[in-house]
Amino acid sequence: MSLSQRINNLSESQTIAMARKSRELKASGIDVISLSLGEPDFKTPGPVKEAAKRAIDEDFSYYTHVSGYLELRQAIAKKLKRDNNLDYTADHIVVSTGAKQSIANAILSLVDPGDEVIVPAPYWVSYIEIIKLAEGRPVIIPTGIEKDFKITAAQLEKAISPKTRLLIFSTPCNPTGSVYSKQELQAIADVVAKHKDVYIISDEIYEHINFIGHHECMAQFGFIKDRVVTVNGVSKGFAMTGWRVGYIAAHVDIAKACDKMQGQFTSATCSIAQKAAHAAM
């Protein structure tokens, strides 16, 4: 069968492939410790489940705004102020079917064919495939244990070229677990600030899986905030991986672009899952 070159160039998610192989081995009787999916070892909190049940009973079963219903986006904005001291309104928030879609929306909204996207390694494998889907060119920066698997300002400055459009990184990092300090984030922000056409996707989905102290956000630096897309969600911190609710906080123009992109793919995420996420906030 003849399929598009786009899909032929796209690799299967290796995370999902590893999880599938793990399940197959377990089903055959082999004892497997799976390190594939980022799955919490606790259950979705009771109040979150109760909120979903109420939403079903109250027939909250219709389309919402593509970016998520207003009260949920307002609750996310309050969470960002309460937990991270970030000032956003509902207009800056786009709720998606998981943080993976949030990242895809942002990349597809910001990257043109031929644009370079800087990604520190080790990295979450889907970053590269989504960049390729946008016809961007991944620029991989190796990191090592001697620097706690973190990108340095010097490495970033060296990697930036006239074609650079985006830096993607995560803190706490998937897969290394490294957590960036405020000083380390500021050093990165200082470099990006010198290059006015470069944006940052800051993947912070593991915010609550942090065992070394307070979580620091890239968007806390006002001089770079308008060029930062903060990605987060409820999957890891509230054991809601299967509920599929992620979100971005970004400049209104970026939020509108992501809303437009999402409107042509999935529209809003599940209304019941949105109510559950609201309870988690």
Domain boundaries, the chain: 1-37, 38-280
Residue 101, token pair as written in the block: 């879609």
Residue 276, number of CB atoms within 10 A of its CB: 26
* pLDDT at residue number 214: 85
| Cα three-residue angle 100-82-177, rounded to 5 degrees | 45
* pLDDT at residue number 26: 85
CATH no. of 38-280: 3.40.640.10
The sign of the CA dihedral 53, 58, 63, 69 is negative
* pLDDT at residue number 45: 95
* pLDDT at residue number 11: 83
- Rounded CA-CA distance 253/234 in Å is 24
* pLDDT at residue number 95: 99
| Cα three-residue angle 227-218-221, rounded to 5 degrees | 75
Residues of the chain with pLDDT under 70: none
* pLDDT at residue number 41: 79
- Is the bond into 142 cis (omega within 30 degrees of 0)? no
